[in-house]
Amino acid sequence: MKLILHTFQLKLKHTFTISRWSRDFQETVIVELREGTLSGYGEAAVNKYYHVGVEEVLKDLNELKPIIERASTEQPEAFWAKMHPYLKNNSFAHCALDMAFWDLHARKQGLPLYQLWKLNPKKNPLTNYTIGIGEIETMRARIREMPWPLYKIKLGTDHDLEIIKSLREETEATFRVDANCAWSAAQTIQLSEEFKNVGVEFIEQPLPANKMGEMEAVFQQAVLPLIADESCIEENDVAQCYGKFHGINIKLTKCGGLTPALRMIRQARERNMKVMVGCMTESSVGISAIAHLLPLLDYVDMDGALLLENDIAFGVTIKEGIIAYANENGTGVKLK
């Protein structure tokens, strides 16, 4: 097995803004594990909020290259565990490696990954399409540009209610809102009442991640479901979110890949919590991996590749929220 690392700068169609930053490009690392004529692919779309850049991902994986290239006969779960001591401080690198290993493993078995996991995709959830923060007319224009049954609206301004009411004039689609840690407890409780009246499905990460104590009161008083994102990074966080959120949003890059994501899903189900998987503006490499988890999910946010001007891979396709798998084994990815 051969480790090959690719780096790309992905240009976004529009400037993407959330409560704490704006960007026009997404840097990403693609891991390729090649064995004979088969290749498995994984992705780490780096993120400065989590203090991970391209250089750290490349350095950590290149240092492990001899160990990685000798591991082709191992099972994915065992391989993840072997890599964990080396990559426990770089979940992004671990994610890309784990994703590529699962992809290659399924291709060697001659199966799409969801079939390898014995999952039934007949009731897969739709993906939302994300509208970043901007001038209200710009946000309305994004909705007109991309008619969709389900939107995630990024919030965290001093006029969030005005935004939602104005966007509601454009569409009858379901709204989800994501404050990315920008609100207070009192603000969240009040806005939940207002948002419920205008067709908002749930609120994602209203408070900063270090305000878990306050989330207990919000959980008791808010009238919309609450989904943890920044408060639920790794496996140990699932138990901490119980009783403070109604569900969790798993990001593969934050938890370290598909292997721990599967465990987090099981933990959430044991607690009767809703489960969502989100993206980090990945290309179709990372998005296609997320798609194979769909039969296990209540919600999904996998629009990353749709936001790009220059996607670098073929994989799953998405039309009006409906995900179609590629006609390939593994995750179905091919680099362009």
Q: Which of 23, 76, 27 is nearest to 253 (CA)?
A: 27
Please tell me the distance from the alpha carbon of residue 137 to that of residue 273, in angstroms, as a whole number.
36
Examine the pLDDT at 51 and tell me if it is beyond 90. Answer: no
What's the chain's length in residues? Answer: 336
Domain 2-111 in CATH 2.30.30.100? The answer is: no
List residues bridging with 277 in a β-sheet. 250, 300
List residues bridging with 7 in a β-sheet. 29
Examine the pLDDT at 5 and tell me if it is beyond 90. Answer: yes
Model pLDDT for residues 220-274, shown as the tens digit of each residue: 999 999 999 999 999 999 999 999 999 999 999 999 999 999 999 999 999 999 9
116-335 shares the fold of 2-111: no
Please tell me the distance from the alpha carbon of residue 138 to that of residue 36, in angstroms, as a whole number.
49
Quick one: pLDDT band at residue 21, thresholds 50, 70, 90?
Answer: low
Examine the pLDDT at 110 and tell me if it is beyond 90. Answer: yes
3-state secondary structure of 228: strand
Mean of pLDDT values over 66-91: 97
Which residues are CB-contacts of 205 (< 8 A; sequence separation ≥ 6)? 178, 179, 180, 181, 227, 228, 229, 230, 231, 249
What residue ranges do the domains of the chain occupy?
2-111, 116-335
Looking at every residue in the chain, the average pLDDT score rounds to 96
Residue with tokens 């179905």: 332
Model pLDDT for residues 188-226, shown as the tens digit of each residue: 999 999 999 999 999 999 999 999 999 999 999 999 999
List residues bridging with 64 in a β-sheet. none
Examine the pLDDT at 17 and tell me if it is beyond 90. Answer: no
Fold entry, domain 116-335: TIM Barrel (3.20.20)
DSSP structure class, residue 234: S
3-state secondary structure of 126: coil
Model pLDDT for residues 165-177, shown as the tens digit of each residue: 999 999 999 999 9
Report whether 129 contacts 148 (CB < 8 A). Answer: yes
By percentage, how much of the chain surpasses pLDDT 70? 100
